Amino acid sequence: MSLIALNLLESTVTLYPSQADGSPDLTSPIWTGVTVENLVVRERWMKAETRPSGSRWPRKHPLVQQYELSLGRVWSLQLPTAGGGLVMGRGYYVLDVVWVDGDSGDWHRETFYNVTISDRSRTSRDIDGGFTDEQVFDAEYMAAPSGGTGGPGAVPAIAGGLPYVVKWNAGPDAAPVDLYAYDPATHGFTEAVAGMAAPRATLAYTAGVFTLTFAGASESAMEVGTDGSLTVTAMAVGAPDRGQVPWVEFWYGPIRVACVTSGGRLYAASFVNGAAVDGVGKFGLTCGGALAVTLGGTGVVAAVMEA
């Protein structure tokens, strides 16, 4: 296994205003490709505390992570200086950080959503060394980290929408794990981390047939057959109870659009027989390369559903 150690000089930071759905407004970046003087990314967890009967110490239960991003840029003003420089507002932002290794060309990306300003300060370095404009942001969630090889020219542009992620949920005391990232352009699923899916649940296209199979199961929990039909054990409107874990969740940004339990029960907002049509916020499942099923915030659409 080869490793790289990325440094601050190899990073660039871009801040976008958020659109109404939380996606970045790519036409109006606030800063683009900025190298910062310092950068701190903190992952903090909201926790609940219980005191089990007979236990000597209280027990803490991590519930959900939140992010704090501290960065400092050289304080500079655009001429003429009457504008006063960057002014932060009360709105939401998207913060994108990309590192590119100067020797190997390998790159790594982390993108944070629903970012809000928390604190700002200006610190002098020394008597004639200028100032550092320091900003502290809070972020609600982060897209699954991505990366690749090839150098700066190979880094893809940030997606205009929100991240599509398939998560694994093992139980009430376990945090969901990112299994796959979904590409709405190709309808393909890519493992978040190589080897992560096999001991949990596998999403795969085999001979044009899509299957979702839980580890150790003899049959798939969900399948799109050769005729484009969606097959599950059962369908239900709403969300499962905790007694049905493990399950796999389909997320578009902060919204869970569908859930499949290990028993093959599919949960969604609604189920409609009809022609599947691609759209923002929808997971598209194909049969022989043709779109057959969509999973979205308004529900599941398929020409044929079997349970």
3-class secondary structure, 283: strand
Q: What is the pLDDT of residues 105-124, one digit of tens each?
A: 999 999 999 999 999 999 99
Closest to 104 in 3D by CA, of 148, 39, 157, 146: 148
Specify the higher pLDDT residue, 112 or 125: 112
- Quick one: pLDDT at residue 82? 60
* CA atoms of 30 and 211, how far apart (whole Å): 42
The vertex-169 CA angle with 114 and 68, nearest 5°, equals 30
* Domain 8-154 part of CATH 2.40.30: yes
In tens, the pLDDT along 219-265 reads: 999 999 888 899 999 999 998 888 888 999 999 999 999 999 999 99
Task: Give the ranges where the chain is alpha helix by DSSP (H).
Answer: none
pTM, two decimal places: 0.82
Q: How many CA atoms lie within 13 A of 147 on its CB side?
A: 15
The tokens for 307 are 């349970």
Look at residue 172 and tell me whether its pLDDT is greater than 80.
no
Alpha carbons 206 and 212: distance in angstroms, whole number = 11
CB 94 within 8 A of CB 26: no
The whole-number pLDDT of residue 168 equals 94
**Phi, psi angles (nearest 5°) of residue 81:** -80, 10
Residues of the chain with CATH 2.40.30: 8-154
Are residues 273 and 280 in contact, defined by beta-carbon separation less than 8 angstroms? no
Phi, psi of 243 (to 5 degrees): -75, -5
**Cβ pair 301, 277 in contact under 8 A:** yes
